[in-house]
Amino acid sequence: MSWSVIQASLPAFGAAFWLTLELAALGIAGALGIGAGVSLVQYFRVPGLHQVASVYVDVARNTPLLVQLFFIYYGLPGLGLKLSAPVSGVLGLIFLGGSYMAEAFTGGYNAIPKSQLESGAALGLSPRQLARFIVLPQGLTAAVPGLAANVIFLVKETSIFTVIAIPELTNTALDLIGLYYRSNESLLMLVVAYAIILVPLSWGLTQLERKVRHVTIGA
């Protein structure tokens, strides 16, 4: 183990670390937004849009992120739309993650007793008011465990970005192996970098799940 190689690699890994965090944050935020919208369309079975949402979820969940990235980055230019590698990576993460988030949201919504929706409708609440006052507050609480698992999953999926030459952590590790011919040092730094991201994130999400579970039980 050469500590001089590790020291020399720190600036490159530092830049890759922050880029990975930035792309993951953007992708997860977008996936949460898409997932929330798609799940509501599916849950309330909005005419016309419900079928489109179902097709999207099926396609996104049943195709690898690798294939999706290839299509976005290499296929779309043939259709006249050329995107940078980072933008393609974020869009791929949103496309894939949105489908998983939608399923998690829908699972939370389905945990709401139907009697509450029937009572709300009997009181004259519109579908929008049902969503705002009944479905969203309780459904989001029930969906937290699934959403947390998806967040961890999407952070890990950023390692696939290396196939379109985004200088994230995995790509940087491979470049440094080629530069110094020292795989142990680069792989060690790669593991440590992901651990720095994922261990605190996993702990924080676990605490959030426990808090939500406690509030739900207390209610």
Provide the 10 A C-beta neighbour count for residue 103. Answer: 19
Q: Is the pTM of this model over 0.85?
A: yes
pLDDT at 216: 53
Q: Is 173:186 a contact under the CB 8 Å cutoff?
A: yes
For the chain, percent of residues with pLDDT exceeding 90: 62
- Look up the domain containing 19 and give its range: 3-218
For the chain, how far is it from start to end, CA to CA, in angstroms?
Answer: 54
Element (H, E) at 219: none
**Most confident region among 37-46, 175-184, 186-195 by mean pLDDT:** 186-195
Q: Which residue has the tokens 């509501």?
A: 40
**How many domains, the chain?**
1
pLDDT at 5: 80
Mean pLDDT of the chain: 89
pLDDT at 132: 79
pLDDT at 218: 43
Q: For residue range 126-149, what is the model confidence (pLDDT) as tens digits? A: 777 877 777 777 888 889 999 999
Q: How confident is the model at residue 96 (pLDDT cuts 50, 70, 90)?
A: very high
Q: Above 50 in pLDDT, residue 217?
A: no
Q: For residue range 102-127, what is the model confidence (pLDDT) as tens digits? A: 999 998 888 887 777 777 778 787 77
Residues 33 and 39: their CA atoms lie apart, in Å, by 10
Instruction: Tell me the average pLDDT across 165-173.
Output: 93
Instruction: Tell me the average pLDDT across 164-172.
Output: 93
CATH number at residue 44: 1.10.3720.10
Q: Above 90 in pLDDT, residue 91?
A: yes
SS3 label, residue 2: coil
Lookup: tokens for 76: 């779309």
Q: For residue range 19-62, what is the model confidence (pLDDT) as tens digits? A: 999 999 999 999 999 999 999 898 888 888 999 999 999 999 99
